[in-house]
Amino acid sequence: MIKTTFNSKDRLFGTDGIRGTVNDGKVTALMAVNLAMAAGEYFRGRAGTKKPRVLIGKDTRLSGYMLEPALVAGFTSVGLDAITTGPLPTPAIAHLTTVLRCDLGVMISASHNPFEDNGLKLFGADGYKLSDEVETEIQVRMEKDTILAKSPDIGTARRMEDGIGRYIEFIKQILSKNDNLTGIKAILDCANGAGYKVGPEAFFELGMEIQLLGCEPNGKNINFECGAMFPIKMAKNTKLEGADIGIALDGDADRVIFSDEQGNIIHGDHIIAVLAREMILSKELKSNEIIGTLMSNLGLENFLQTLGVNLKRTNVGDRHILDEMIKSNSNLGGEPSGHIILSDYAKTGDGLLTAIKIISLLKKSGLKASKFLRPFELVPQSLKNIRNIDKNILNNKIVQDMTANIKKSLGNTGRILIRASGTEDMIRIMVESTNQKKVNEITDKLENLIVEQDKIEKNK
């Protein structure tokens, strides 16, 4: 028996696994060891094989070199064999966890966050992200004694050599047997992240002409002025190079942002609309509900209604989207940030899978991306992130009353959403209305109020 030294009154897991600044809080090597022991103990035997094992992937952050061996040490100490892949997208780890009959999978990544941050996303033997209940159970076990494996039963560790090839074959299945992407020229920005090897190779095999951005990771440049968080560079190059489309992945390649040939960014809700329209025409849509989030644009909801389809909203995060998709028997869901879930093929958002599908549809349409990928007009919307604010300010009565009054005045012509980020230390404000001037005025009013009330609270 060994007593872990992890002890926290706060919840370790956020909306998408564990995430934070490395060595400045909860994300440390010691936490990773303790997590691996607790999760290994909980999941051991779940896959039903004689020898339990875990799959561990990562993005390109410098701290991955610290967290990966810490996880290996923890898992092997409780008797699991560890298989490491090196840099691979999060959806690749979800898929390969099931294919390799692993008891669980772990992705070391902080997604779109800067390199100083890192995190851990866990998948069960079925390839799905964990429920809140399972995450809570793992955290409870981290604060209790762990039963270590006897010396002869300690796990082994090995590197998986064919992870990239196996994942490419998986994402190519979204195309019909004789389909390819020849004749398409694209700019691909991999955010110096997890997709920097597999992305270029996948599109090359499909026949595309690709010019690359963000494919030279050095451990510290992931998401830095590139990728889905900074798509302007990709968009400008798309126009400059005369490409048909631009593609920008985020750090762990589970989401994607597109640009048209004119260098204009395509909204994520437009991509969902394009996929919905195609799936209805091809009779592939399984239900009359498509799953979005509280951030989904009102224009998407209106467009889907013209197709005879409802938009059902969930909390932000692809895990919440997938949970509702399963309940609703829906096979399409996503959010404006570029997380798109095509559940007939994948169990999580997958930037490369989505990109292959969208480019295939664009090629078949014979149209320019600027026309094909904008099937409706967006309702004016503003997004504002306020940093260095105590998240408890959302419980402030003055803030709550002001928000309620504005919502009432908008009626059915707009929406307001104020929430604490589940992955970063900030408050997010979303305002939506058919009147752009009103959107700007309300956003400024709410931001000023929140900042003012936060100062008052801190000075009490």
Q: What is the pLDDT of residue 425?
A: 72
Question: Mind listing the pLDDT tens digit for each residue in 39-75?
Answer: 999 999 999 998 999 999 999 999 999 999 999 999 9
Whether residue 109 lies in the annotated active site: no
Give residues with Cβ within 8 angstroms of 308, minimum separation 6.
Answer: 280, 288
Let me know if the fold of 267-347+374-378 is the same as that of 381-459: no
What sign has the CA pseudo-torsion 108, 231, 433, 298? negative
What pLDDT score does 8 carry? Answer: 59
Q: How far is CA 32 from the centre of its chain?
A: 21
Q: What is the pLDDT of residues 256-308, one digit of tens each?
A: 999 999 999 999 999 999 999 999 999 999 999 999 999 999 999 999 999 99
**161-168: average pLDDT:** 96
Name the catalytic one among 63, 77, 109, 111. 111
224 CB-near residues (< 8 Å, 6+ apart): 114, 115, 192, 230
pLDDT class for 390, splitting at 50, 70, 90?
A: confident
Structure tokens at 20: 């934070």
pLDDT at 157: 98
Name the CATH architecture for the domain at 381-459: 2-Layer Sandwich (3.30)
Domain map (residue ranges) of the chain: 2-163, 178-264, 267-347+374-378, 381-459
pLDDT value of residue 423: 66
| Spatial distance between the Cα atoms of 415 and 406, rounded to a whole number of angstroms | 9
Mean pLDDT of 371-388: 93
Mean pLDDT of 20-40: 96
Residues 6+ apart with CB under 8 A from 131: none
pLDDT score of 36 more than 80: yes
Confidence of residue 5 (pLDDT cuts 50, 70, 90): very low
| Amino acid of residue 293 | T
Looking at the predicted structure, is the pLDDT value of residue 24 above 90?
yes
- For residue 81, give the amino acid letter: D
**Cα pseudo-dihedral 263, 268, 269, 273, rounded to 10:** 80
pLDDT of residue 69: 98
The pLDDT tens digits for 244-263 are: 999 999 999 999 999 999 99
* Residues sharing a CB contact under 8 Å with residue 258, sequence separation 6 or more, in sequence order: 245, 246, 247, 248, 265, 266, 271, 355, 358, 369, 373
Instruction: Tell me the percentage of the chain whose pLDDT exceeds 90.
Output: 80
pTM greater than the 0.75 cutoff? yes
- What homologous superfamily does CATH list for 267-347+374-378? Alpha-D-Glucose-1,6-Bisphosphate, subunit A, domain 3 (3.40.120.10)
pLDDT at site 4: 43
* Amino acid letter for position 247: I
Share the mean pLDDT of the chain. Answer: 94
Residue-wise burial string across 270-285, b where 16 or more C-beta atoms lie within 10 A, e elsewhere: bbbbbbbbbbbeeeeb
Q: Look-up: residue for tokens 């889905």?
A: 228
* Per-residue confidence (pLDDT) for residue 2, from 0 to 100: 41
Contact 53, 99 (CB under 8 A): no
Which is higher by pLDDT, 391 or 351? 351
- Measured CA to CA, the distance from residue 190 to residue 440 in angstroms comes to 33
Q: Which of 97, 3, 2, 90 lies closest to 52, judged by CA?
A: 97
Hey, how many other C-beta atoms are within 10 angstroms of the C-beta on 286?
15
pLDDT at 7: 57
Rg (CA), the chain: 22
At 82 the pLDDT is: 98
Q: Over 80: is that where the pLDDT of 321 sits?
A: yes
Helix axes of 268-281 and 298-306: crossing angle, nearest 10 degrees: 10
| Mean pLDDT value across residues 126-148 | 93
User: Whole-angstrom distance between the N-terminal and C-terminal Cα of the chain?
Assistant: 48
Query: Residue 294, Cα to own-chain centre: how many angstroms?
Result: 16
List pLDDT tens digits, range 334-355: 999 999 999 999 999 999 999 9
Question: How far is Cα 33 from Cα 164, in angstroms, rounded to an integer?
Answer: 27
The answer to whether the beta carbons of residues 218 and 55 sit under 8 Å apart is: no
Least confident of 231-245, 333-347, 354-368, 410-424: 410-424
What mean pLDDT do residues 176-186 have?
Answer: 94
- Provide CATH code, domain 178-264: 3.40.120.10
361: pLDDT strictly greater than 60: yes
The 10 Å CB-count burial string (b at 16+, else e) for 132-167 is eebbeebbebbeeebeebeeeeebebeebeebbebb
Q: What is the CATH number of domain 2-163?
A: 3.40.120.10
| pLDDT at residue 10 tops 80 | no
Q: CA angle, corner 335, sides to 331 and 341, nearest 5?
A: 30
Which of the four pLDDT bands, split at 50, 70 and 90, describes residue 9?
low
- Predicted local confidence at residue 260, as pLDDT: 98
